Chain A
Amino acid sequence: MKNHRHKWILWGAGAIFAAVFPHVFGIYYANFFVAFAIFSLYAVTLNLLLGYMGVLSFGHAMFFGTGAYATAIALTHIPGFPLLPAILVGGLSGGLLALILSPLLVRVSGTAFAMLTLAFGQLIFVIALKYREVTGGEDGIGGYSIPPLNIPGVVSIDMTDKINFYYFAIAVIAVCLFILWFYTKTPFGNLVVGIRDNAMRIDYLGFKLPQIKAVNLIVCGAFAGIAGSVHALLMKLVSTVGVLDISASFTPILMAYIGGVGSFFGPIIGSGVLHLLEDLVIRFTDRIGLVNGAIFILVVLYAPMGLVGLFGEAKAKWFHKGKVS
């Protein structure tokens, strides 16, 4: 039970840290923290496919981007569109895209799955570029403002205040992460991991493989869409750059791997590390991509279970040493 208390203390400390963060570190870093949180959620959804189901989604940006664009379009074209539905729209769009693609996606795994998602990701990217009337083409969609958080009859919180937005965004993402964490602990979550280890046996145990894969895909697509939505609100501008392009698909892969694909929290750690790294490196050079790429290669070569894996190994060695002496 000591373990439980440790966990609660850790989470409590984390919550307090997040609560005072903007007051201690300022607005710039508050936005930075929100970006970290957005990509944490995004990377976690990628890992629910990679670490948990064993498939590499190479075009994951299509869900992120669809959510971002959906929110931007809703806020631009429908005056007075409320805040929470704007985010919901993003989530639904991501989930809907996954639903539409699932009949094809559940038929393949491994390299074929990676290629298929790459193809679809590129397809959506090209569509966003070419259909300017809807997506604004290369310029994207901008100029919308964040609607206030309205609980009718109770309160209306102005979201153009960056501190308010910070709390709102962090709360939304924390809730999403909790839901996804719980999801991995359910019997269904166990099935998904089973698919990673031995898809054929899952079939033979009496489970309908395509349906399970589809549900997991839709969950991942929906929550990636929500991450995209919050991103759209944070940036107040949505274009293909960093949202639908190939680097937007690779970033979560990087984060998940560096943090550790074998754990739920790995991608979150990866997101933190990568954001901090970028903040640091950008003072010296523009070439953050080179640093990221090099680190990624090193991780794949020498630490495939990421930071969480390394930490686990270190802990095991430490405990072993303790016992022996």
Chain B
Amino acid sequence: MSPTTVLYVAQAVHGLAYGMLLFLVASGLTMIFGMMGILNIAHASFAMLSAYFCYQVLLMTENFWVALLIAPVVAGICGILTERFLLRTVHKQGHLAELLITVGIMMVILEAVKVGWGAESLVVKIPPSLSGLVNFAGLTYPIYRLFVIGLSVVILGIMALILFKTRLGKIVRAAVSDADMVSALGINTPLVFMLVFGIGIWLAGVAGAVAAPLLTVFPGMADQLGMDAFVVVVVGGFGSLGGAFIVALFLGELNAYGIQFIPRLAPVLMFAFMAIVLAFKPMGLFGERE
């Protein structure tokens, strides 16, 4: 195979991996917005927090799998506490106050990790079982990236199953679509909110922990991911999981190819695209919420 094809395929895999990470982050973000009307500015910060937790657990247990398991859960718990004690209090003040509080939370998390772990980059090593390359159809792929893709697919598959095949999932989907209606049906909406928020954060946490070996752990690691996640949610549609999926993958590939071939133009194009969608279709390409 020619070197160019190898390059294209490598970029495609990278793009797919990044797109999956993006979707993990964006899916929680879009569901939270759809259900609670809150655009969680701090969403990617929780991903970063989870990466730091992953580093810490790895330090203590030397076991990547344990770290991968625990870190997102801890992040998810932080998310639930945030929802319960901060967001719920500010809910009555309206959407602007909710937005601003998430900004404050973002700032606090950013500074807190600096206090806890300093400002330099920390290295999380890919475990030996996942490092290296694998050969397939005459091309080599980095195993870890394939792992990222694989893990994301599994998790998202489980999420999809729960959402579409269980009663709880039905309630959540209904709440994302119309929380007031669900509340009127007698369902404990605050509990559902807390649950969805927690799971949304957990998903972001998984993305953060999994991305830790790739991006290295430092206070700015989630900036790009966070911004891209916003673009995904805005363009894909607030509250639309399908839209988020399509746009996340598209953006992942755009990023990968863009950075390779048109490094100076890529981010400009992306933001320009988001700005235009936002101005003409404020609900996103597939969104429905008010």
Q: Is the CB of B274 within 8 A of A119?
A: yes
Q: Is the CB of B275 within 8 A of A104?
A: yes
In this assembly, does B112 line the interface, its C-beta being within 8 Å of a C-beta of chain A? yes
**Binding-face segment, A23-31, A33-41, A293-301, A311-319:** A293-301
**Binding-face segment, B199-207, B244-252, B265-273:** B265-273
In this assembly, does A115 line the interface, its C-beta being within 8 Å of a C-beta of chain B? yes
Contacts of A293 in B (CB 8 A): 104-108, 110-111
Summed over the interface, the residue pairs from A and B with CB atoms below 8 Å come to a total of 106
Q: Determine how close the nearest CB of chain A comes to the CB of B163; give it in whole angstroms.
A: 24
- In the complex, A123 Cα to B114 Cα: how many Å? 26
Q: Is the CB of A294 within 8 A of B108?
A: yes
Q: Is the CB of B95 within 8 A of A120?
A: no
Q: Which of B39, B97, B227 contacts A300 (CB 8 A)?
A: B97
Q: For chain B, which range describes its interface: under 10, 10 to 19, 20 to 34, or 35 or more residues?
A: 35 or more
In this assembly, does A236 line the interface, its C-beta being within 8 Å of a C-beta of chain B? no
Q: Determine how close the nearest CB of chain A comes to the CB of B49; give it in whole angstroms.
A: 14
In this assembly, does B10 line the interface, its C-beta being within 8 Å of a C-beta of chain A? no
Q: Knowing A110-B95, A122-B227, A293-B104 are in contact, say whether A301-B89 is a contact too (CB < 8 A).
A: yes
Interface residues of B in 99-121 (CB under 8 A from A): 99-101, 103-108, 110-112, 114-115
Interface residues of A in 267-325 (CB under 8 A from B): 287, 289-290, 292-294, 296-297, 300-301, 304
B interface list, Cβ under 8 A from A: 39, 86, 89-90, 93, 95-97, 99-101, 103-108, 110-112, 114-115, 223, 227, 230-231, 234, 263-264, 267-268, 271-272, 274-276, 278-280, 282
A interface list, Cβ under 8 A from B: 56, 103-105, 107-108, 110-112, 114-116, 118-120, 122-123, 126-127, 130-131, 246, 250, 253, 257, 287, 289-290, 292-294, 296-297, 300-301, 304
Q: Identify 10 residue pairs between A and B in the complex whose beta-carbon atoms are under 8 Å apart, listed by A's number.
A: A108-B278, A111-B95, A115-B234, A119-B275, A122-B227, A126-B268, A287-B115, A296-B103, A300-B90, A301-B86
Known: A297-B104, A297-B108, A300-B90. 5 other contacts (CB 8 A): A56-B96, A120-B275, A293-B107, A296-B103, A304-B97
